[in-house]
Amino acid sequence: MKNTFKIFAFILLIFSSLTVFGQKKVVSPIKPKDFDGLGFSKDIKTLVKGAHSKVDKPFVFVVRDAKTYAELQKLVEGLPEVSTIDFTKSAVIAGFAGEKPTGGFTVEVKKTTNGYGIAIVAPGKGMMVTQEITTPFNVAVVPLVPLKDLSVDFAAANNKLQNFQVNKADFEFTGGIAGRRTQFKAGGTIKILTFGDYVSVWFDLKGKGTAQKRRLLTTASGVLKNGNLTIEIVEPGSFVEMPRPPFLAQGTLNEKSLSLNFEPTPTNVADGYEGRGSLEAVQVK
């Protein structure tokens, strides 16, 4: 009888151990390799930051695709391979402080109520700093919030922005199971910040004469060469019904005027919507 009880207890102990072991395998987090799974993180993760960059004035660059990421790699050395970032769930925000008279300055990318913000942090009072001109920067990967526009605030660059007032804008979207088509006009403001061949654009557009309120509020970046502007990804906001691909924006920019055309990027979504549009804007003081 005693031997039977011992055998039963031994079997129960083994079974319990296997059960606990199984539970541990299920609930234990898997530690990813460096930069793996960045698109699934809920946290802001710094990719590269430092005191010296090629950008000598306040600037921000927002990346939503591989092609634009390749442009950022021309500005910042040491970035991870593009394959390590899932742009369906993440964006990359690069903040540049411009020239600073000493060391000790840093750039931080933080979550805000309306999106993300870039802050320049000065060295503390009495802090020992290097006596050299620095150009601090921070490049971070941030999670995208589903159905929420990506807006980036950088107060240090506000006085460097070109401000434009939209005086003509026409948009439409088509698609859905019933082949719906909706057309409307829009108005609003656009702010632009440039550095060399790089440009960042803050869109704040509202639809006119529509039963449903429609707004395009986002920050996007691209390239500007010989006055020709291209932004690979512009999220349409509520200007286009879901599901839909983002816009590709192309146009021209000079000191007095801005013109842009919006076309849908390629998509495999069945019964989705596609948006198109165009706008003209003039610079205002």
According to CATH, what is the number of the domain 161-284? 2.40.160.90
Residues 204-242 have pLDDT tens digits of: 999 998 889 999 999 999 999 999 999 999 999 999 999
Residue 149, phi-psi category: left (phi > 0), alpha (psi -120 to 50), beta (remainder): beta
Encode 47-73: b = buried (16+ Cβ within 10 Å), e = exposed. bebbbebebeebbbbbbbbeebbebbb
Q: Which residue has the higher pLDDT, 2 or 257?
A: 257
d(CA 221, CA 226): 16
43: Cβ contacts below 8 Å, ≥ 6 apart: 143
pLDDT at position 269, please? Answer: 78
The predicted structure's pLDDT at residue 274: 96
Summary mean pLDDT of the chain: 87
Report residue 199: phi and psi, to 5°: -145, 140
Say what the pLDDT of residue 232 is.
Answer: 98
Beta 198-208 vs 215-225: how paired, if at all? antiparallel
CA atoms within 13 A on the CB side of 213: 2
Does residue 53 sit in helix, strand or coil? coil
pLDDT digits (tens, 9 = 90+) for 145-171: 887 889 999 999 999 999 999 999 999
Cβ burial of 213 (10 Å; 0-12, 13-18, 19+) is exposed
Paired tokens of 220: 């996007």
* DSSP 8-state class, residue 38: G
pLDDT digits (tens, 9 = 90+) for 120-149: 999 998 899 999 999 999 999 999 988 788
pTM greater than 0.85 (yes/no) = no
Segments of the chain assigned to CATH 2.40.160.90:
161-284
In this structure, what token pair is assigned to residue 206? 């509202």
Is the model more confident about 235 or about 16?
Answer: 235
Strand 90-97 versus strand 137-143 pairing type:
antiparallel
Extract the runs of DSSP E, i.e. beta strands, from the chain: 45-50, 58-63, 90-97, 106-112, 115-121, 137-143, 152-153, 162-175, 180-195, 198-208, 215-225, 228-234, 247-253, 257-264, 273-284
Q: 50-70, pLDDT tens digit by residue?
A: 999 999 999 999 999 999 999
Q: List all residues 6 or more positions away from 262 whose beta carbon is below 8 Å from its beta carbon.
A: 171, 234, 236, 247, 248, 249, 275, 276, 277, 278
The pLDDT of residue 63:
98
Residues 169/277, Cβ–Cβ less than 8 Å: yes
Mean pLDDT of 173-189: 93
